Amino acid sequence: MRSERYIPYLLILPSVVFLLFLFAWPLLEALLLSVRDSGGQWTLENFRRMAADLYFPDALKYTLLLTLVIVPLQVVMALGMALLLGGISRGRDLFLYVWTIPLGISDLAAGIVWLSIFTERGYLNSFLQGIGLIQQPQLWLSYETPWMIFVAVVAAEVWRATAIVFVILVAGLQLIPKEYSEAAEVFGATPWQRFWKVTLPLLMPSLQVALILRTILALEVFAVVVALGGRNLPVLAGEAYYWYNAYQNPGVAAAYAVIILGISVVATLLYLRLMRSKQEGAA
């Protein structure tokens, strides 16, 4: 039986080797790429060029703003949907399926779908004309109206990616024993109180996972923005793409990638810290 001890290591070995090759190594390479020039000399030139670029301040601003608007909207909406599902008796499976359809839709496709709504001769303008607000098609997705591109991106992202949060929260709700809520009811807690004092604190681990995952994904928003606004609404991942593809400069592109990673790590640590203290406060 002695040889048995090696079996699990043998089984995980291929995936560990693979992940070292495709995660650890590129991570290291990205860091090196961002702090070295093409000759291999250490330099901060890439970050300097990034920061001096005309698009950088806007890209940083819009990426952070998009995350700050999209993620809370999605969490509130997904929480509402998860609780709503509990209050529905008939057709539960059908609602579950339709609500999770967006899980299979790519960011690029979602961007194009919402382009058909926000474009000049699109459905939004047709609707506004129908109710008499405008006479002629309005141009929404132009560089003159970045706030409208912003709204379109928020709509597309909320439409597409709320389902991920929803599924995580429903799975979390299923883990909470019904007895807790029933006990609270026996002691006279209103539904509102039961939600805030029982359900929400017990749901904290799932909320934490959903928040971290969605925030990291929101910080690398890319294809939705490209489909709806091109570069008229610059974002960090988009700039990394342009610097690599159009300007052929992997160094500055890597600097952008490092910035995205940096913000993601800070956000994750922040969530872990804030939500732990909240959990302890509730206990």
Q: Which of residues 86-115 bind another protein (CB under 8 A)?
A: 87-91, 95-109, 111-115
Q: Which C-beta is closer to another protein: that of 108 or that of 282? A: 108
Number of residues located near another protein, criterion CB under 8 A: 95
Least separation in angstroms between residue 262's CB and another protein is 10
Shortest separation between residue 89's beta carbon and another protein, angstroms: 7
Q: For the CA atoms of the chain, what is the radius of gyration?
A: 23
User: Which of 266, 246, 247 minimizes the C-alpha distance to 258?
Assistant: 266
- What is the number of other CB atoms lying within 10 angstroms of the CB of residue 109? 16
Q: Which of residues 14-73 bind another protein (CB under 8 A)?
A: 14-16, 18-19, 22-23, 25-27, 29-30, 33
> Shortest gap between Cβ of 187 and another protein (angstroms)?
22
Q: Tell which one of 44, 65, 171, 183 touches another protein (CB under 8 A).
A: 171
Q: What angle do CA 168, 223, 27 make, to 5 degrees?
A: 75
36: helix, strand or coil: strand
Options 1, 8, 188, 248; binder of another protein; rule CB under 8 A: 8
Site string for another protein, 189-228 (x = CB under 8 A): -----------------x--xx-xx--x--xx-xx--xx-
Q: Which stretch binds another protein (CB under 8 A): 84-92, 142-150, 193-201, 275-283?
A: 84-92
Number of other residues whose CB lies within 10 A of the CB of residue 51: 13
Bridge partners of 36, per DSSP, are 42
Q: How many CB atoms lie within 10 A of CB 57?
A: 11
| Calpha distance 114→135 (Å, rounded) | 22
